[in-house]
Amino acid sequence: MDTRDLVKYCIQGNKEAENRLFMRYGNKVYTICLRYVRQKPDAKDLMQECFISLFKNLSKYDAEKGAFEGWMYRVCTNVVLKKIRKKKNSISFVFPDILPEISEKLLKEDFDEISTEVLLKTIQELPEGYRQIINLHIFEGLKHTEIANCLGISASTSRSQYGRAKKLLKAGLENQIAKKINNEERRLA
Amino acid sequence: MQRRLTMKKDDWLKEKLVERFDAFDSGLDLDQAWQELEERRNPKQKRRGFIYWILGIGFLGGLMFTFWNKDNSAASLSETIQVVEENREDLEFTNQKEILLIENTKEETVVVDESTERKNRIILKTQTQNTIGTQKKQNLELANTNLNERFSYLLNDINTGSIAATLNMTEANATTAKAKAEKEDIIIAETFAERNSVFQEKKIPIVIGNLGIQKVESLVFSGDKKENLVPPAIVRPLKISAGHSFGFNFAYGKHKRTMLAIGEDVTELIANRNLQESPLDAIELNIFYRKRMPWTSYLEFGIGFMQTSYLFEDQTQTVSYNLLEDQITEVHNFPDGTQENILGSIFEKETVTRDSKFYQNFRQLHLNTSLGKEIGINESTGLLFSAGLEYSLFSQIEGVSFANSEILSYGSLDKLGYKSEGVFAGLLGLGVYGRIGSANKIELSLAAKQSLNNYSKNTGFSESRSHVFAKLSFVRSIN
């Protein structure tokens, strides 16, 4: 059954269709949530809220305007951001004083050595504001003007903080690679 | 040939990240997650809130029932009067007494018809025995002295021909007024409030009776049978000291939130907010039941609703940052003729101006209990003090940000994520009271409330609330 039919049945209140839609996209939605919050139970809770919102607003989805997946990502991102904003009424950017030198070339070469789990962990460990900017710009594909609206900051701040966020992420990834190399060396020794 | 400088975007990381996460399997047990989602969507789960309601109301009802039925040894004199009224059923009524129209010195005799309802008849009775001992026989006569809106009644002692008592009545309809009077020639203690010592104290004879005229069904009065007639006001303590009363109050005041960060990333914000936040309105409405306790104290149980609101405005802040910016610092030329931009970092100064507004509404339903003490200044006024505890049953918190229209719906309130059921608060009150009529009381007090545990337990910060109210209460005795 294609997604369009699935959505149609879901709107009619068909539980089986809802279950299938959940099974089809549950993993993707959970991954989105995992990128925004650090704890798995929080991510699970957010995922449930995303699906509750999705099922509630399915009738608003217009297949002619675009693919379901894109619309779903947008709804989920809004739910996640809304939740985060409700808890904290401002976003903060804490940048460390000292950042290690990053070898762009080395990182590019070794990137494939890093598992997705470690990537996820590195993103989760970013300070709140940087994590959100990375998620919104890289994964959700929002422009800096849109991010500015979402986070209540100026577009120029979003742009400049994105640069810093990337630096922090790269530094974190390099750190992970260094750890991995150390571990391997210890194992060989 | 001059080659064009081409700009290569440093977006390899973005592409790789998107690619990785697109195929990422989080390892989530989807079947279990679906079950949990279904449980959350199941309306049965939402009924949990009503259980708190039912428990709360049941608790309050149980307490009221318990106190209602408790055999209190310090019962007030009003119970004694009830005993007398019960005895009335066994007495015979005589309908041959005269109602004398005294106005304009014109006398008229009216004989109350036998078919008139009992409550409208003139009642003469002989009280031979009751719980507090009585023994003197006396005939009283009711006389209407004025047919205008205000009525004066005289109670005449038929045996001696002297006036036994007088009473002014209002709100009576002159043309339809039919009076009922009861005479009880009883002896009660000199001290009204000391029932236990009734039989030991020196006794003085007084008159107690009921007078009913359509709109005013029954009014208790008393007087010194001999010479000095005691105004009806002296009877009030009999009613006011009743064991049970109900009431309601309305309070208006100010509240103040104090937030402490216990999570990360919000410390600066909260410290700033505490400085900025201006206390705004709080209103409260309570209904309550009171049980009179010894030594002019009382125990009160109530249920109430409170709403507070505040508008938070950030000061316009201008902050300068030193930001790291990616800049092309070098263009590398490869032997094959291609070029690559080498990115480096420089510091750039940026100035950001922040200006935001946030409005929050807070509604709460709560149970409260308090212990109060009355100190009489005279017969009708006095001071009161109270202290107690409040427990929140249900709350709803809504907010709107006027600065971030994409996040919260612009201009409309949106429910906020945190709950505050189960918060205890300490209560203190200080005020004055005044009695109105025989059974009503009005109180004006200054009340304070302070939360005792965290108001925002599901968030990353700790919040306490303080309130100060001006409170107006109405209390009515029910026996």
Residue B300, pLDDT score: 92
Res A19 pLDDT > 70: yes
Residues 6+ apart with CB under 8 A from B380: B233, B236, B434, B435
Residue B387, pLDDT score: 92
Residue B357, pLDDT score: 63
Q: Are B382 and B375 in contact (CB under 8 A)?
A: yes
Q: What are phi and psi of B320, to 5 degrees?
A: -105, 130
CB contact under 8 A, B33 and A26: yes
Interior/surface letters A63-78, b for 16+ CB within 10 angstroms, e for the rest: eeeeebeebbbebbbb
Q: Domain map of chain A by residue range?
A: 3-87, 104-188
Residue A77, pLDDT score: 83
* Cα-based angle B461, B465, B470 (whole degrees, multiple of 5): 170
Let me know if domain A3-87 sits in CATH 1.10.1740.10: yes
Nearest chain B residue to A107 by CA distance is B13
Residues of chain B in contact with residue A150, where contact means CB-CB under 8 angstroms, are 404, 406-407
* Cα-based angle A141, A144, A147 (whole degrees, multiple of 5): 75
Residue B286, pLDDT score: 93
Residue B277, pLDDT score: 56
Nearest chain B residue to A20 by CA distance is B34
Structure tokens at A69: 């997946």
**Higher-pLDDT residue of A122, B160:** A122
Looking at the DSSP bridge assignments, the partners of residue B442 are B434, B474
Exposed (0-12), middle (13-18) or buried (19+): which is B32, by Cβ within 10 Å? exposed
Residues of chain A in contact with residue B403, where contact means CB-CB under 8 angstroms, are 152
Residue B136, pLDDT score: 34
The Cα–Cα gap between A152 and A158 comes to 10
Residue B304, pLDDT score: 92
Residues 6+ apart with CB under 8 A from B229: B163, B165, B166, B223
CB contact under 8 A, A89 and B418: no
Please, what are the averages of pLDDT over each run of 10 residues along chain B (479 residues)? 45 81 82 86 62 78 66 35 32 33 32 36 32 33 34 44 44 34 35 32 34 32 36 34 80 78 47 53 89 85 87 58 58 75 60 61 88 83 91 77 44 55 87 83 91 68 80 84
The Cα–Cα gap between B112 and B188 comes to 32
Let me know if domain A104-188 sits in CATH 1.10.10.10: yes
What beta strand segments (E) does B231-356 contain?
Answer: 244-261, 281-293, 297-313, 317-333, 339-354
CB contact under 8 A, A48 and B416: no
- Tally of helices (H runs) and strands (E runs) in chain B: 7, 19
CA distance A189 to chain B (A): 32
Q: How far apart are the first and last CA of chain A?
A: 55
Q: How far is CA B344 from the centre of its chain?
A: 67
Question: Which of B345, B358, B406 lies at the smallest CB-CB distance from A149?
Answer: B406
CA distance A185 to chain B (A): 27
Which of B22, B323, B410, B416 to mutate to probe the A interface, most A CBs <10 Å?
B323
CB contact under 8 A, A166 and B417: no
CB contact under 8 A, B37 and A48: yes
Q: What are phi and psi of B377, to 5 degrees?
A: -90, -45
Residues of chain B in contact with residue A137, where contact means CB-CB under 8 angstroms, are 14
Residues of chain B in contact with residue A111, where contact means CB-CB under 8 angstroms, are 13, 16
Question: Which of B17, B324, B358 lies at the smallest CB-CB distance from A119?
Answer: B17
The Cα–Cα gap between A143 and A134 comes to 11
The Cα–Cα gap between A122 and A173 comes to 7
Residues of chain B in contact with residue A21, where contact means CB-CB under 8 angstroms, are none
CA–CA distances in Å: residue A173 to residues A28, A39, B241, B407: 23, 20, 79, 31
- Hey, which residues 91-150 in chain A have their CB within 8 Å of chain B? 91-92, 94-95, 104, 108, 111, 116, 119-120, 127-129, 137-139, 146, 149-150
Q: Does A27 touch chain B (CB under 8 A)?
A: yes
> Taking residues A19-38, what's their average pLDDT?
88
Residue A97, pLDDT score: 53
Q: Are B214 and B176 in contact (CB under 8 A)?
A: yes
Characterize the bridge pairing of strands B297-313 and B244-261.
Answer: unpaired
Residue B431, pLDDT score: 92
Nearest CA among A159, A45, A34, A88 for reference residue B326: A159
Residue B214, pLDDT score: 28
* CATH domain B243-316+355-477 topology: Porin (2.40.160)
- Hey, which residues 35-54 in chain A have their CB within 8 Å of chain B? 35, 44, 47-48, 51-52
Q: Domain map of chain B by residue range?
A: 77-232, 243-316+355-477
Nearest CA among A33, A94, A25, A34 for reference residue A54: A25
Question: Which of B24, B263, B352 lies at the smallest CB-CB distance from A116?
Answer: B24
Q: Are B75 and B67 in contact (CB under 8 A)?
A: no
Looking at the DSSP bridge assignments, the partners of residue B383 are B375, B432
Q: Read off the pLDDT of residues A65-114 as tens digits, 9 standing for 90 and up.
A: 788 888 888 888 888 877 776 665 555 566 565 566 667 777 777 888 88
Residue B119, pLDDT score: 37
ipTM of model: 0.84
Nearest CA among B8, B11, B1 for reference residue B331: B8
The Cα–Cα gap between A123 and A136 comes to 12
Which of A15, A21, A32, A87 to mutate to probe the B interface, most B CBs <10 Å?
A87
The Cα–Cα gap between B312 and B359 comes to 6
CB contact under 8 A, A27 and B323: no
10 Å Cβ neighbour count for B408? 22
Helices (H), B70-214: 77-87
Q: What are phi and psi of B3, to 5 degrees?
A: -85, 145
DSSP assignment of A29-91 equals HHHHHHHH-SSHHHHHHHHHHHHHHHHHHGGG--GGGS-HHHHHHHHHHHHHHHHHHHH-SS-
Q: What are phi and psi of A79, to 5 degrees?
A: -60, -45
Residue A11, pLDDT score: 84
